[in-house]
Structure 1
């Protein structure tokens, strides 16, 4: 069985022994593919350090997180693009719009999002979208940019069934994480209605820890609990969920 964590910030752990233990717990739980999004220029070296340490497990992505979009966002994005010249990447992400924390730079977030979509298209790469309290804003940009090269993952999807269908209609996969295990979130009802061919799994570690560890730091090895919950919702085995969602990840990332 091979499970794929399509979105993890495991690189935030920089202490070698602790990082090695996190990786070993992944291997012990059959999580053998880890996709790493940076968030800003400063986090790029952390991503590549982890990739260098575990090249058989880790795959880098690059992008400017919407919460990192400030007045100097163009310089930040230029630095991130420069890093790409030296290193292979598998997606542009995570990118998007976040109106939960701060609406000050909405105009800049939209422009940064749009520029990075076009960057991805030029590289024939998928995008990994961060969307928080901004579904309509994100969807509007995607509709405007829609063409045969626009594809990717709606990371940490937590919307309703109608929104899920809109995402799927755009040709995107739904990134399903720990929220699906939360009793009152409602995502379980949505996921039970969505064919597994439209789903990839993720942890977003160290955030959004699944039950039974909710309230503690998340880690990629906990993906097994997300996979089991999805399996239960679809009344199938975790092996089938692992196979289908990993195949989906191969489809979107090309590896």
Structure 2
């Protein structure tokens, strides 16, 4: 029931935020060429509140009529009154290949470091199958399911599944939906939601939601805003289960 409530909540939130919030997205064209996108955002204040933030991200994609390979990297730092409030770094990659008109297989890998969430290193790998629900020149909508393994190392030992641990590995089910939409000639929308039920400890799970909207100012420069949400039903003692991040910035596209 708790898992179902989370899915309904996040789906409703997606419907509300998609028109306005996003990560910029790399161009997808089935011509076999690599394309890249770089995004930067910053905020600085002084006086009664000395604070600053820096957000950097990069992604690339290569697509043909039969396969697609994507990668991404992110770095987010923020300080307020000389105290770190965000320190998060991540890398990800995924390869998928069609084996029929409607079906495809995929393999993915991801690395995360988030000291304030007590994650020194999180390494995840997954593989599975998916189905193209629809795809045309204006976008796509895919559903996928697979099996993955995630291994965490913690900054400080914490209570996970009733034991004090400094590391934790588990098999996970991977359930995902992803879509991309070309709304106008200058505006594109993209979103992805992934659920990771823990197969080692029944009832525990993680969830990741990313949304995307890119508004082109010129052929190579875009305005972007972004919202990411990460949820862990058992993050450890004295830690919140959900982490949300909103980022605005400017993106440079290399097509």
Question: TM-score of the superposition, structure 1-length normalised?
Answer: 0.30
For the pair shown, the structure with the greater C-alpha radius of gyration is 2
Whichever structure has more strand as a proportion of its residues is: 2
Question: TM-score of the superposition, structure 2-length normalised?
Answer: 0.30
Whichever structure has more helix as a proportion of its residues is: 1
